[in-house]
Amino acid sequence: MIKKFEKRFYLEDKGLYAKFKKLLQEVSIEDINIADDIISLAKRRLKKDLNESIYISLPDHISLAVNRTRDGLNVKNGLLWEIKKLYKEEYAVAQEAVQMINERCKVELGEDEAGFIAFHFVNAELNSGMNAITKITRFIKDVLNIASYQLNMVIDEESLSAFRFITHLKFFAQRIFSQEITENVEDTFLYEVVKERYSKAFEITQKIKAHISKEYSYHISDMEATYLTVHIQRLLERKN
């Protein structure tokens, strides 16, 4: 006799719950279950509360990472050295998480992905001061305004694609305002592929890049431009 086990997810934030239901249409139940097991592991190991948003951002990331790997696209983590050094506990848990994903999804994710997952933990446990939150909020608002103007559309901030974009911008803003020095790790092949394939989104990324350079004296690397372009392309596809 085969027993079926059903997990139930309860998110107190109704807005996040609505996004979670949308996510279920785009990622597999297995990805959701793996993420849930990893989050439970992180809570036990780190002994910290994690923001509910990780129940959306982490399964979404796992799904993308697994699919990228199966397609032969391995993304380098330009912050790996810093993550290992600054967030040792989170990185150790993330290494266990990667092993779990590899075993259950039959893929070979490496230390770069462990770094990305560790940063999801850091973001979910982060308690920023009001000054930092104000700066990050303004940064995100400015970038969204540029993207909205260039796309000639009102970005639905309740949509899943916008949630992904805003989550990425939050990570990005934290790096800028904490003045983290990133290792110059680039993936020229992926950058050129994205530049050619998503030309409109790439053009918008260049506008954002110019704004950030002017307002924050921060130079966006080719890898960061690649990430931004992919997220903007998702918004563009939603428009069409």
- Can you give the pTM of this predicted structure? 0.61
**Mean pLDDT, rounded, for 66-82:** 82
**Is the CATH number of domain 14-125 3.40.50.300?**
no
Residue 15 has pLDDT above 80, yes or no: no
The neighbour count for residue 25, using CB atoms within 10 Å, is 7
CATH of domain 130-239: 1.10.1790.10
Tell me how many helices (H) and strands (E) the chain has.
11, 0
**Matching CATH topology for 14-125 and 130-239?**
yes
Domains of the chain by residue range: 14-125, 130-239
Reported as a pLDDT band with limits 50, 70 and 90, residue 126 is: low
What is the pLDDT of the chain when averaged over all its residues? 84
Chain centre to alpha carbon of residue 207: 21
Q: Residue 41 and residue 116: Cα distance in Å, rounded?
A: 16
